[in-house]
Amino acid sequence: MFRKIWKAFWEPILRLSIFQWVIALVMAGLIWFVYFTCRKEIVNYKTFKKYRHKPAIFVFWHGRSMMLSPIVCLGGMKSYAIASLHKDGKMMAKLQHLFGLRAIYGSSHNGGLSVLRNGIKVLRRGDHSLCISPDGPGGPSLRVQDGALYFAKMSGAPIIPVCFSARHTWIQRRWDRYLLVYPFTKIKCKVGEPMFVDSKISEQEFESKRQELEDIMVKQLRELDAEFNLYYVEQDFTAAEFKKAKRQGKEPKLTKRYK
């Protein structure tokens, strides 16, 4: 009962643009504080520098976005980010705007064709990249959906997988196991090699390419998390299923570490 009353009180407030901007400003301040108090290591930064002002599709897992924002900002990257039309997505778009990213609103379930058209226009202009979470906005976790590959196929732009991890972190109780980084620790980010998708690729080859990208991105995350001895993040959670499991008291617990 209390939960329903609390939700009824906060839901309308969270939809207010001014309130979303306030939250975004607070979050941005905290992210900058963490970033500047931590030691950073970026592997293969030369690839990021090469494509930061070119048409490219930077992909990262939904739960691994926090510390990528200041890297993008300080690197002078010119990019658009795909943002959900949900209130959380709109607030995240405001947060990304504070780090220099413009928003294209929509998802594979809502406004997908419009997102595809607008994203291709951006890439074909030749001076901006795209940032996409291929398992967002609602999962399944650590599973690559088709969107990024369609952008690459129709524009000729490369897909570049990016991931980060850190020594001292808090993995949130969410479907995407969102990783929050504590101040005064070490952050490591890996930038992958460009992957191209041929415009005349067959359906079977397309699926093979999707699986290849997924394997690369999962490997990035596993290697980084193993280096810092974090909990093992599972695949295949969806936002809806995870919320239902939490309500029923059957929420999956993180118990396995790499070492």
Inform me whether the pLDDT recorded for 116 exceeds 90: no
- Indicate whether 121 belongs to any domain: yes
Phi, psi of 32 (to 5 degrees): -65, -40
Q: What is the pLDDT of residues 209-222, one digit of tens each?
A: 999 999 999 999 99
> How many angstroms separate the CA atoms of 26 and 18, rounded?
13
DSSP designation for 137? T
| Contact by Cβ (8 Å): 169, 67 | no
- Indicate whether 202 belongs to any domain: yes
- Indicate whether 15 belongs to any domain: no
DSSP designation for 238? -
| Contact by Cβ (8 Å): 75, 58 | no
Average pLDDT over residues 183-202: 97
Helix (H, G, I), strand (E, B) or coil at 259: coil
- Indicate whether 1 belongs to any domain: no
Name the average pLDDT for the chain. 90
Inform me whether the pLDDT recorded for 7 exceeds 60: no
> How many angstroms separate the CA atoms of 146 and 160, rounded?
15
**Residue 259: what pLDDT?**
67
> How many angstroms separate the CA atoms of 110 and 219, rounded?
30
Inform me whether the pLDDT recorded for 39 exceeds 60: yes
Is residue 34 very low, low, confident or very high in pLDDT (cuts 50, 70, 90)? very high
Residue 57, Ramachandran bin (φ over 0: left; ψ between -120 and 50: alpha; else beta)? beta
- Indicate whether 122 belongs to any domain: yes
Which residue, among 69, 85, 87, 86, has the nearest Cα to 77 in the 3D structure?
69
Consecutive H or E run containing 230: none
Give me the number of domains the chain comprises: 1
Can you give the residue range of the structural domain that contains 134? 40-247
Helix (H, G, I), strand (E, B) or coil at 90: helix
Q: Between these two residues, 249 and 44, which has the higher pLDDT value?
A: 44
- Indicate whether 134 belongs to any domain: yes
Q: Between these two residues, 11 and 120, which has the higher pLDDT value?
A: 120
Share of residues in the chain with pLDDT > 90 (%):
70
Q: Between these two residues, 184 and 255, which has the higher pLDDT value?
A: 184
| Contact by Cβ (8 Å): 24, 91 | yes
How many of the other CB atoms lie within 10 Å of CB of 193? 11
- Indicate whether 140 belongs to any domain: yes
Q: Which two tokens mark 212?
A: 């290849």
DSSP designation for 128? -
> How many angstroms separate the CA atoms of 13 and 83, rounded?
20
- Indicate whether 185 belongs to any domain: yes
Q: Between these two residues, 1 and 169, which has the higher pLDDT value?
A: 169
